[in-house]
Structure 1
């Protein structure tokens, strides 16, 4: 590979160059700021869905920060054949949220997290074992499939934001009160205005600033509870298997394996995009190493009460904006995330954000994920009628659990764990239809083969929104 344009022959590639400590810390903090909301949002959604207390949700978010730091260090520093060794940030995958909520609904609050953690461990090991072969199978996941799945991820999560905006508890007497919806609307408006008027680093953290502003507005309304902060420890380690030993249920494992495949597809797209941005194109060996890190990070996370880990595409955009290509900057952010995970008080500060405030910001976050899927579909050759049909049927089946929640009520509970996840069913249908229309018998047709390289969920431009990746 030829050296980068600004690289002297024989010199270290900018990706492998360390920066002075002050710049390393500053740039690392910026990566943390860009991804922080995306890391704590999935455990917050799952924690509320499982019915955890505010203190337990804070613990869950601390654990997710801690495990995101470990996964990021695996990607950037790496060892043996694990880790892309690129400025690649890993965190909690959004792709797993809806399936985990479906598992929680089927298993009940007591067994939900142990069953989820057991399924995540198996899915992570599956990802490690599949990595060397997955790069060869990526042609079965073109933009028509990945775009459909990413869109479904965002659409499947939007009802969560709507529930938050109404107060978060459908059984409460004041659920859907105008004050809740009004607070959500004001928070969303503030977030949009901040995104529009701010520049540079402040623009990157507009989501966090929106959360802060919404919480401050909620204070005089009596909608913010500080008890979790006062009760939280300053220092604390995420106790292994805090919520119980993992349990292994076949239906839950199948659901999370599907999530793992989706995450691996998205990570592959992000590695390809990042390699181009830093002038170090990713080859098959690099892709396999990146996917092994994803799988290993996912398998390790449940031991410390975390969830599946995958790439954060918004940080790929941040690398493009700042032009800082050193992987050690992102390694520093991994170290910072690990330290933040050891401070439950900090996580509890996020947990005190009122649910209507989260609803307002969640609308932007989850909507951005859906928009990213639509952006990917723009590269899916939809001028071909077959591809339009693939998207139409996959989306239609994928939204069944939202549009008709009782549609599968007559099916066995073990099957409903998969069927009640629109992401899982939509992904399976999209892959099968893509095989039927674009691969089986393709040699007998004269049409050009479909595009086989997945397009990253977020284009790495200066206007990339600081929203969580669709993984």
Structure 2
């Protein structure tokens, strides 16, 4: 896909120069900035296999194998998304990893069935990925129903929905643990947050851009003498290992499992579409139908291939959008470097375990800034959404209200069928559907409503980069 001209925040297009998305930074900056993306997403990649593995009856060794495979496949999917192949890949600084949306149905599919359960999960993911790939050209046409009133609402929901993850990390990560929410954990998260903010204020240039990474390192160093880190993972890790195909046997195909994961795939495609629209705003290269189609192809193809190497469904990682917004580093090659690092981590368990040294409270303190940046970007987009026109303010109000239900009242849908929980438990999905439907009703249906619709090509929202 051809890159457009670079657009400066004040001077407009700059003739003859590459767009910042296609800019190649020096090797040192590329590596450290890519490592910062890995640090931001690492916990999100390893958490699903660490949850699903024991739940389906795998021992510690096989669960560790799943973690390594998830890192490897997330890296491959990220490389496909950022570098692109033919008409596959958004070619944006877009990170792919293991989707949390599939955790609950995967546990239900493989509960206490061990390797057989994993084989059924993998078979269902393969079918869901292939179906999603086929549906991509039709799904991407929905982009015209995502004006600023919709995208701003969804981007805000993405940030707000991620904040509870940062809060859980800040408390220690395990709500059932005795020390969850302890003063020590919360204080460490608060200290990391202060360090990141101070570094952003005091540093300049490249060091300011990697303030998150420096904050994570500083927080980890402080946590070591406090006994909040453990080297056990490094001592037990092998130097090298490859996620051999079909480690848990050939994929098995059960209709109920396939249907369940196909629903998850539609949820992931909805969230990825919203994430691409958000990222396009931030990097000042709006995601059009072609970009979304190529990005969804990478998502779905990555998901279909991932089980061959013992990985789970791949989807966009919204937390890394916050990192792009905060640092202002828009190069897709930086994120591609992060994808390469993930592949190496999957092939070298020792390196992966070093990253795992970062305590969750430290990651939580940095996550508050990262995820808050996404929400701030959504608010800036809403500022361009002409809320004074028609019923746009009502659209935002209703969509935000519905989207916040799973966050504010987690048990609200407890009486609903379990199969519906895949969608209802995702505030991003329910809020997105509500915003699209209401925008369609108020701004597109009926001759009087068309005049109130927003422009098809609104001015891009400003970046939330802090200078």
Q: Name whichever of 302-311 and 412-421 sits farther off.
A: 302-311
Match of 2:144 in 1: 139
- Contact 2:75–2:340 under 8 Å retained in 1: yes
Question: Which digits, 9 at most, give the CA deviation of each residue in 1:309-354, with x for residues without a partner?
Answer: 44864687699758x7xx7777666545433432221221222322
For residues 411-455 of structure 1, what are the alpha-carbon distances to aligned partners after superposition, in whole Å with 9 as ceiling and x for unaligned?
2211223222222222222221121111221x3346342244588
Counterpart contact for 1:210–1:361, Cα < 8 Å: yes
Give CA-to-partner distance per residue, 1:355-375, whole Å, 9 cap, x none. 222222222222223223223
Tell me the matched-pair count: 444
User: Does residue 1:308 correspond to 2:317, yes or no?
Assistant: no
CA distance change for structure 1 residues 353 and 283 in 2, over 3 Å: closer, same or farther?
A: closer
Q: TM-score, normalised by structure 2?
A: 0.78
The residue that corresponds to 2:350 in the other structure is: 345
Does the CA contact (< 8 Å) of 1:89 and 1:315 recur in 2? Answer: no
- Indicate if the aligned counterparts of 1:138 and 1:452 stay in contact, CA closer than 8 A: no
- Cα distance change on mapping 1:283 and 1:414 into 2, 3 Å: closer
Distance 1:34 1:181, change over 3 A: closer
Deviation at 1:263, TM superposition (A): 0.6
**Distance 1:216-1:403 versus aligned 2 partners, 3 A rule:** same
Native 8 Å contact 2:399 2:432 kept in 1: yes
Which residue is 1:82 aligned to?
88
1:243–1:270 CA distance, 2 compared to 1 (3 A): farther
Contact 1:191–1:361 at 8 Å: present in 2 too?
yes
**2:95 counterpart SS class:** strand
Q: TM-score with structure 1 length normalisation?
A: 0.78
Structure 1 pair 384–100 and aligned structure 2 pair: CA distance change class (3 A): farther
Q: What is the match of residue 184 of structure 1?
A: 189
Q: Structure 1 residue 411 and structure 2 residue 416: aligned?
A: yes
- Residue pairs, 1:30-429, within 5 angstroms: 30-47=32-49, 50=52, 62-75=68-81, 77-83=83-89, 86=91, 88-92=92-96, 96-97=99-100, 99-103=101-105, 110=112, 121-240=126-245, 245=251, 248-267=257-276, 270=279, 288-304=293-309, 305-310=311-316, 313=321, 334-384=339-389, 386-429=391-434
CA distance in 1, matches of 2:147, 2:222: 45
Is this contact kept in 1: 2:273–2:292, CA < 8 A?
no
Q: CA deviation at 1:43?
A: 1.7
Distance in 2 (CA, whole Å) between partners of 1:385 and 1:93 is 39
Q: Residue 72 and residue 453 in structure 1: after superposition, are their counterparts in 2 closer, same or farther (change >3 A)? A: farther
Q: Distance in 2 between matches of 1:57 and 1:161?
A: 24
Cα distance in 1 for residues equivalent to 2:269 and 2:3: 34
Structure 2 equivalent of residue 435 of structure 1: 440
Q: CA RMSD in A?
A: 4.1
The aligned counterpart of 1:444 is: 448
C-alpha contact 1:167 1:175 (8 A) present in aligned 2 = yes
Output one character per residue of 1:209-265: Cα deviation in whole Å (capped at 9) or x when no partner: 222222222222212111001111222223446678577253443233122123134
Unaligned runs of at least 5 residues, structure 2: 6-13
Query: How many angstroms apart in 2 are the aligned matches of 1:208 and 1:316?
Result: 13
Higher relative contact order (CA 8 A, sep 6+): 1
Structure 2 distance, partners of 1:436, 1:49, is 41
Change (3 A) 1:80 1:38: same
Q: 1:16 to 1:137 in 2, by over 3 A?
A: closer
Q: Tell me how far apart the structure 2 counterparts of residues 210 and 2 of structure 1 sit (CA, whole Å).
A: 33
Please state whether the residue corresponding to 1:266 is helix, strand or coil: helix
